[in-house]
Structure 1
Amino acid sequence: MPGNPKKKQRSALRSLLLFLLLIILTLGVFGDCVFVFVLDKPDRSKWTRAQTELGEIQKALNRYALDHDGAYPDSLRPIEQLYFKTGMPKDPFTKDVYLYERTETGFVLTCFGADMAEGGDERPMADIVFDETGLVEH
């Protein structure tokens, strides 16, 4: 005795709709993951660029000190004129010059990262700090 053809059609349609719903949900979750990864990538790239640029500025400051009896400049302006002919690199997050502070023993260069606030545990939120000896690990 054959079953009701309309019931079989409804059951097949229900199965198809459930299958399509699962595919759409899976694609949505996957899309969210990709979207978050892609959005985070520019900030990570900026963070890496800032670390590289701070390293170059640190080297220039140490060269300056060698040429000036171990004295570091009060600002970054003197090394810009001597070592950065195309201009001083700027913080990619703030678009302003990197933070520079002369200390008793040398200097501290800082970039606060993507959150532009002190602290942060992971890239791109983590601070990048250089002194006269190199990268300062937190």
Structure 2
Amino acid sequence: MSENTDPEVDPQIAELRAEAASWRKKLREQEQANEQLTAKVAELSAANESLTGESESLRGELDQVKGEQERAGMVAEVAKEYGVDAGVLRGSTRDEITAHAEQLRDVFKKANSAFMPNIGDEPGVQSNEEAEFVRDLFGS
């Protein structure tokens, strides 16, 4: 302390210095807390970005699975409607799948009629009662 200072002023200066020291200490504590919070925010931001990417990836996979299920349902319906095996149908839209089913049905119909001609139409084969019955039964 200085020689020219008033004795009443010295306790006030000491009090102000103590208060200033207290505020500096609080400031350092707040700066440390701020650094910790900044680090935590950076950590959480990185985790959020990672989860956002994972979420988008999972949404894409879900959309793909839903699309596959929808297509499988369409294929099953068309296969049942046209009497064609669902495993051989191709196409990504209902119209494409239906067109392929019609094509296959027509091809199989022609192929079956080529291998199973009407008995009465074959040269040299005599028609008998059994053949007549089968023809009447199956409409050929």
Q: Shorter-chain-normalised TM-score: which range?
A: 0.3 to 0.5
More strand by share: 1
Where is the helix percentage greater, Structure 1 or Structure 2? 2
RCO comparison, higher one (Cα < 8 Å, 6+): 1
The structure with the larger Rg is 2
TM-score by length of 1: 0.45
